[in-house]
């Protein structure tokens, strides 16, 4: 977008709980590459999960309220900001664990199946997770361990991400998303 002859720079929020990434410590070249890619040519604003939740609460109160209600519904009780941040951190840790596991386990044939589910049959991430869970239960995907719940959205995302990678594609872009 151009305003009065000047280009308006986009602001991109990057959320991490890595202290030294936030404080520009001794970064690995891959860290630098990730940050550059995340910025997408815009201004990169880095914050931890608590700061991100506080910013969402302030700048997008309706979105934060919906997120908070969803978290409280899952927990079965009202939650403090610290508890919400902890749940978000746990989700991030689970995502990382699922991604690493799927990266080790997925074969090219399984990637093809996931691609069919996501692109041809238009499965949601949860539906992909449940379909893959069925393949594990039926022992068509051998040596895989079961996850809980079968429709875990993070597992579905990890499955799609790896399948897309094995097709030299990005699961967050068309035709995957």
Report domain extents, the chain.
Answer: 2-89, 93-166
Instruction: Indicate the pairing of strand 11-15 with strand 43-47.
Output: parallel
Task: Give the range with max mean pLDDT: 98-112, 121-135, 139-153.
Answer: 98-112
Average pLDDT, the chain: 88
Q: Which residues contact 158 (CB under 8 A, 6 or more apart)?
A: 95, 98, 99, 101, 102
pLDDT at 140: 97
**% of the chain with per-residue pLDDT over 90:** 44
Answer for the pair 82, 50: CB distance below 8 angstroms, yes or no.
yes
Q: What is the pLDDT of residue 2?
A: 36
Instruction: Record the tokens describing residue 154, joined without a space.
Output: 């993070």
Q: Is the pTM of this model over 0.85?
A: no
pLDDT of residue 61: 93
Q: pLDDT at residue 77 above 80?
A: yes
Share of the chain residues as helix, strand and coil, in percent rounded to the nearest 5: 60, 10, 30
């Amino acid at each position: 977008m151009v305003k009065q002859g000047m280009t308006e720079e986009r602001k991109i929020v990057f959320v991490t709980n890595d202290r030294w990434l936030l404080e520009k410590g001794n970064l690995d070249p891959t860290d630098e590459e990730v940050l550059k890619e995340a910025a997408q040519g815009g201004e990169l604003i880095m914050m931890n999960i608590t700061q991100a939740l506080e910013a969402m609460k302030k700048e997008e109160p309706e979105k934060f309220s919906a997120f908070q209600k969803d978290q409280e519904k899952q927990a079965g009780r009202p939650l403090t900001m610290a508890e919400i941040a902890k749940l978000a951190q746990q989700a991030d840790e689970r995502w990382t664990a699922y991604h690493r596991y799927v990266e080790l386990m997925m074969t090219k044939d399984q990637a093809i199946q996931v691609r069919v589910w996501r692109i041809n049959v238009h499965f949601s991430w949860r539906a992909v997770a449940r379909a893959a869970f069925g393949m594990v239960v039926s022992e068509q995907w051998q040596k895989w361990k079961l996850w809980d719940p079968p429709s875990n959205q993070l597992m579905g995302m990890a499955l799609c991400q790896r399948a897309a990678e094995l097709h030299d594609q990005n699961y967050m872009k068309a035709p995957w998303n």
